[in-house]
């Protein structure tokens, strides 16, 4: 076996290298041991800070999602009510005796105010129960009504199978069994040709030619009945002109759409002086209601359809309606321009631009209780107890209005009844709003409902001062519905001129409805007589308003 030889120099180098490596390792461990507590703590703190930041971000995200979920749930609830629920806003308490007189216990009411409110509430509820019993007795079984007697009747006879007059005797010749069905024939066009004859008088040999009938639109073959039907079909039955064009084609007549649009514009031009006169008369009254709604219009400069606003002013006394278009604007400038010079009460919704009129001399602003009620109705899911308490009190105010309607009270007696029954409820309700606002969460639906009502409470309570005032703005909201239905069919107006013409047509359509006048008959009468006012300026074109023509027995 060979002997192993060891290189001493190599061994010494290896030992020195290992010693040097161990020394460096030992130095590194000692350095790490000296700085470890602070370094570890720093790393730990950084990790905690990062963790807290992450948690905060997640909490903010969750909070944002909760708000969004609440908004979507509110929208879903609203859509469910629209699809499946009753549309009436009237609040009906399932247990009206539960909190009848203890509802506002603990509110800082004066003894006299509390007693008056309790007494008024008791009387209101008593009258409500009596009215419910009267309505129950008045209910009758519904029966199918016969067809109107004024309709033309065509007769047909059906005999037994095999009947022969020579071989059979009729048993019911004077009292036969019969059934009636309602028939309808399609509309038809016809042409009225008018010959204008000329003749010579034998006495003086003067030749006289019959005058040309005055047409509503000069140099046009459109009659008053055709123009009236075009307006009725679009603005009463909501059939756009292009669809009417198709209907005409099916009946065998082709009228170009540009021609129909031109007729429409010319009819509105004829109506414009009466439209101005209508507003002059309405501004002289001392009580009006106002509302606005959207009406899309095409802007050629923007090459797209934009949302414009059409305004409606209603006279609750006469029912007259005035639609107004000012380039689709909803600004405060329109409010100031529209009601410039008006003196009287103006009832509106909660749109803040109407506040510009609040400080004007001679103008009294009234608010709408239906809008306040709607706020509390929307807040039921957020705070059911407080929302129901508010709705119960508002319902008491409306019960007073039903008494007024049932008893057909005069304006003077209406004001007295409101002062006796509604005013104590209003006093109690106002103090409840103040007391409860401090207890609710800021920004919540119930807080918004309370603040909305309290900020306008002086305007909401003014209706009890005059029997002519209405408790809400529902009359004008019903009057503006044809616009909402119409824009779903004709979609938009082609320009501002068309929108202004639309406002004019809607104005007189609403006036006819309020006066109980057929819009078609009125339009025909207007078109046949409007040129009577062209030369004689002593005549007042207001005589052509639907209610005035009805009073004269002309419609």
% pLDDT > 70, the chain: 88
Using CB atoms within 10 A of its CB, is residue 351 exposed (0-12), middle (13-18) or buried (19+)? middle
Dist CA 226 CA 267 (whole Å):
11
Region 197-219: mean pLDDT is: 86
What pLDDT is recorded for position 398? 93
The Cα 349–Cα 289 span in angstroms is 9
Mean pLDDT to the nearest integer, 206-234: 89
Residue 263: what pLDDT?
A: 94
- Mean pLDDT of all residues in 268-285: 95
What is residue 106's predicted lDDT score, i.e. its pLDDT? 42
DSSP H or E run through 258: helix 257-283
Instruction: Kindly report, residue by residue over 107-130, the tens digit of the pLDDT.
Output: 566 767 777 777 777 777 877 777
Mean pLDDT, rounded, for 185-200? 85
Q: What is the pLDDT of residue 105?
A: 45
CB atoms within 10 A of CB 404: 21
> What pLDDT shows up at residue 99?
44
More confident residue, 395 or 36: 395
- What proportion of the chain, given as a percentage, has pLDDT over 90? 44
pLDDT at 43: 58
Query: Does the pLDDT value for residue 5 go beyond 80?
Result: no
Q: Which of 135-149, 397-411, 501-515 has the lowest mean pLDDT?
A: 135-149
Instruction: List C-alpha distances in Å: 191 to 140, 221, 232, 253, 524.
Output: 50, 9, 21, 11, 17
Would you say residue 268 has pLDDT above 90? yes
Q: How many CB atoms sit inside 10 A of residue 206's CB? A: 9
Nearest to 90 by CA among 484, 474, 477: 474
Output the six-digit token pair for 311: 């305004």
pLDDT, position 78: 61
Strand intervals (E) in 243-314: 287-299, 304-314
Three-state SS at 171: coil
pLDDT of the residue at 102: 42
The token pair that represents 380 in the structure block: 């039921």
């Amino acid at each position: 076996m060979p002997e192993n030889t060891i290189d001493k120099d190599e061994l010494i180098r290896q030992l020195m290298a290992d010693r040097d490596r161990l020394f460096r390792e030992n130095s590194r461990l000692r350095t790490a041991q000296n700085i470890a507590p602070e370094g570890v703590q720093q790393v730990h703190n950084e990790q905690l800070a990062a963790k807290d930041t992450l948690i905060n971000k997640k909490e903010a995200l969750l909070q944002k999602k909760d708000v969004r979920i609440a908004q979507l749930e509110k929208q879903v609830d609203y859509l469910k009510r629209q699809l499946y629920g009753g549309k009436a806003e009237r609040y009906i308490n399932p247990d009206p005796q539960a909190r009848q007189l203890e509802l506002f216990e603990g509110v800082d009411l004066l003894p006299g105010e509390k007693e008056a409110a309790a007494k008024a509430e008791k009387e209101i509820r008593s009258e409500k129960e009596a009215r419910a019993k009267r309505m129950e007795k008045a209910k009758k079984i519904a029966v199918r009504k016969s067809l109107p007697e004024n309709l033309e009747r065509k007769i047909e006879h059906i005999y037994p199978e095999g009947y022969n007059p020579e071989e059979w005797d009729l048993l019911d010749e004077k009292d036969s069994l019969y059934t009636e069905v309602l028939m309808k024939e399609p509309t038809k066009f016809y042409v009225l040709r008018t010959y204008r004859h000329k003749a010579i008088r034998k006495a003086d040999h003067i030749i006289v030619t019959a005058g040309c009938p005055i047409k509503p639109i000069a140099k046009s073959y459109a009659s008053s009945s055709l123009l009236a039907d075009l307006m009725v079909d679009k603005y009463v039955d909501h059939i756009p002109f292009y669809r009417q064009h198709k209907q005409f084609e099916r009946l065998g007549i082709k009228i170009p759409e540009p021609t129909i649009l031109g007729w429409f514009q010319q009819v509105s031009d004829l109506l414009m002086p009466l439209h101005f006169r209508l507003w002059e008369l309405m501004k002289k009254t001392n009580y009006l209601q106002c509302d606005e709604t959207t009406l899309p219009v095409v802007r050629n400069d923007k090459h797209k359809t934009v949302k414009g606003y059409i305004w409606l002013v209603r006279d609750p006394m006469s029912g007259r309606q005035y639609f107004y278009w000012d380039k689709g604007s909803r600004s405060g400038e329109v409010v100031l321009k529209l009601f410039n010079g008006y003196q009287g009460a103006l009832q509106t919704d909660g749109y803040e631009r109407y506040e510009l009129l609040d400080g004007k001399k001679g103008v009294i602003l009234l608010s709408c209780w239906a809008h306040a009620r709607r706020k509390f109705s929307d807040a039921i899911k957020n705070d059911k107890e407080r929302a129901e308490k508010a709705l119960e009190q508002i319902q008491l105010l409306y019960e007073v209005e039903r008494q007024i309607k049932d008893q057909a009270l005069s304006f003077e007696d209406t004001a007295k009844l409101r002062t006796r029954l509604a005013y104590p409820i209003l006093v109690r309700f106002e103090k409840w709003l103040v007391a409860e606002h401090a207890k609710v969460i800021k920004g919540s639906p119930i807080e918004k409902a309370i603040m909305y009502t309290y900020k306008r409470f002086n305007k909401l309570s003014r209706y009890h001062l005059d029997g002519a005032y209405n408790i809400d703005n529902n009359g004008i909201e019903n009057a503006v519905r044809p616009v909402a239905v119409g824009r779903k069919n004709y979609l938009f107006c082609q320009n501002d001129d068309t929108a202004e013409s639309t406002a004019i047509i809607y104005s007189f359509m609403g006036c006819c409805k309020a006066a109980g006048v057929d819009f078609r008959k009125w339009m025909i009468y207007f078109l046949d007589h409007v040129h009577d006012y062209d030369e004689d300026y002593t005549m007042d074109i207001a005589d052509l308003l639907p209610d005035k023509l009805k009073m004269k027995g002309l419609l």
